[in-house]
Structures are given as structure tokens and as C-alpha cells.
A = this chain, B = another copy of it.
């Protein structure tokens, strides 16, 4: 497996830049503007709550490393994760225009975070149409992922939904150079996954186990490999158009551009053994 097949990631390993370069058509000028607008990087402990629901947002949070999530909490304690936030993604882009945050942002692992001042960012958007465009597009992508998960929560079975999530994560992580071929690190608990899928951790365990027994995926600790992309994709009815990866360069995304095809996505090692 060579990283060279995935030229999406930045050399300096800034996933935010990588994501912007992959997703938008921002030029060097605007990328520079955005990067300079970022505050200093900060480390945040796992389980910390970066943003509380209902809070008045002053700055956006950009995830540079680790996994976070947007959380909705019902009064009786039931928890729903409205979205996983991966490296390079903005935790709370809504807050750019929201008077109050509609969800909490919580860290699922230890994370590195930087911030963007909302008012300043709006000002930049007003000056640079390309930035306004890009922010709008990022908002659309968030929205599309939410819409797709809605469909999954409403109409997909646990097995289909979990498969769908695993497929989605592979593409999103590949975009920022955090995947290894068909595999990636899944650093969250089955409880967390359950809160994303609207299931109990017990059921997540059983469904995950079946995927493993059928040889569709492999897991070693927190490392996961999708052994049979084609099958997993078919189970999930995964159609990646909603991720809007069309303009990304790199062969890893052929799948995103040819939603009708069911290719195997086997550019490199299939499992853990292949790496030893």
C-alpha cells in the first residue's frame, strides 16, 4: 500500500487543508486566508464537551486530530449522535449563522482542535466570494450527510445501516489521508456507534460480529479493514453521491464518481496479514 495513491492529503498533514483542497476549488490565496484565520491548535481530552447545546457560538471549532461528535440529548438521558466529526471537519459549522447551538459537541477521543472566529469568518466570506461559496458547500455536505443518515435511521435495518456507516467512514477518512487502503482506525466504542445508528451497543456488537464472521470486515483492536467492499456496499445500498466527492483527485475515489458500478476497491492489501 502506498500513500502515493492518495495525493489528497497535505504534506504537512493538516487534514483541514486537505479537506478544503479536496472538496472545494479554493485557490492558494483563499486557503491562506482561512489557515491564517485559525487560532492556535489546542489539545482536548476525550469526553470533554467543547460546545454545549443552546450556547451562543462565538467561534467555530475545526478538528485537526481525533474524533468528535454532535450530540442531542433527550431529557431522560437517551443520547443520539447527530453526526461524527472526523479530522479536517468543522465541528459546528451551523454556528456560523446560528444564534444558539442546536447540539452539543463532544470529543469521542483525545483531540486536537483549532478555532475560527465567527464574525471574522463572515467578514471574510463577504470579501471573498470563493470563501462564501466554499462555506456554503461545506454546509451542504453536512446537510447531505444528515439527510442520508435520516434515511438510514428511518428505513435501513441495523445491518444495512452499520454497513453504510463503515462505507461512509472509509471515504471520509480517505479524503483527509487517514485511511490505509480499505482500512482505517475506528477509535470509538460500540456504545458510540450505537448512538450514531440509533441502536443499543449490544445490538451493534452482534451485527458487527456477523459482518466479521462473514468475512466482510476484519477488526483488530481499533483497526478495521473492509475486506469485501463490493458486498458491504451492496448490503448498505451505499451511494456516495451525497458526500460530493466528485471533484476530488485520486483513484481511491473512483467509487464516488461511479455510483452505479460495484467495483471491488482492492488497490492494495485486503487484510491485516497483507501488512506483515
Report the minimal beta-carbon distance from A207 to chain B, rounded to whole angstroms. Answer: 15
User: Which residues of chain A from 128 to 157 have a CB within 8 Å of any chain B CB?
Assistant: 129, 132-133, 136-137, 139-140, 142-144, 146-151, 153-156
Residues of B within 8 A of A83 (CB): 147
Does A70 have its Cβ within 8 Å of any Cβ on chain B?
A: yes
Does A32 have its Cβ within 8 Å of any Cβ on chain B?
A: no
A 145-181 binary contact with B (CB < 8 Å = 1; else 0): 0111111011110000000000000000000000000
Query: What is the CA–CA distance of A204 and B148 in the complex, to the nearest angstrom?
Result: 22
User: Which residues of chain A from 113 to 141 have a CB within 8 Å of any chain B CB?
Assistant: 122, 125-126, 129, 132-133, 136-137, 139-140
User: Which residues of chain A from 214 to 260 have a CB within 8 Å of any chain B CB?
Assistant: 237, 239, 241-242, 244, 246
Report the minimal beta-carbon distance from A143 to chain B, rounded to whole angstroms. Answer: 5
Residues of B within 8 A of A132 (CB): 122, 125-126, 132
Contact present for B102 and A242 (CB under 8 Å): yes
Contact present for B98 and A244 (CB under 8 Å): yes
Residues of B within 8 A of A154 (CB): 80, 153, 195, 197-198
Does A273 have its Cβ within 8 Å of any Cβ on chain B?
A: no
The residue on B at minimum CB distance from A73 is: B151
Residues of B within 8 A of A241 (CB): 54, 100, 102
Report the minimal beta-carbon distance from A134 to chain B, rounded to whole angstroms. Answer: 9
Does A64 have its Cβ within 8 Å of any Cβ on chain B?
A: no
Residues of B within 8 A of A242 (CB): 102
Contact present for A79 and B155 (CB under 8 Å): yes
Residues of B within 8 A of A146 (CB): 143, 146-147, 150
Residues of B within 8 A of A122 (CB): 129, 132-133
8 nearest A-B pairs in the assembled complex, by CB-CB distance: A154-B198, A97-B136, A153-B153, A72-B151, A80-B151, A102-B144, A80-B154, A78-B155
Contact present for A80 and B137 (CB under 8 Å): no
From B82, B96, B126, B246, contact of A147 by CB (8 A): B82
Does A11 have its Cβ within 8 Å of any Cβ on chain B?
A: no
Contact present for B82 and A198 (CB under 8 Å): no
Report the minimal beta-carbon distance from A86 to chain B, rounded to whole angstroms. Answer: 18
Residues of B within 8 A of A197 (CB): 154
Contact present for A94 and B140 (CB under 8 Å): yes
Contact present for A143 and B102 (CB under 8 Å): yes
Query: What is the CA–CA distance of A82 and B149 in the complex, to the nearest angstrom?
Result: 9
A 188-199 binary contact with B (CB < 8 Å = 1; else 0): 000000010110
Contact present for A72 and B147 (CB under 8 Å): yes
Report the minimal beta-carbon distance from A178 to chain B, rounded to whole angstroms. Answer: 24
The residue on B at minimum CB distance from A71 is: B151
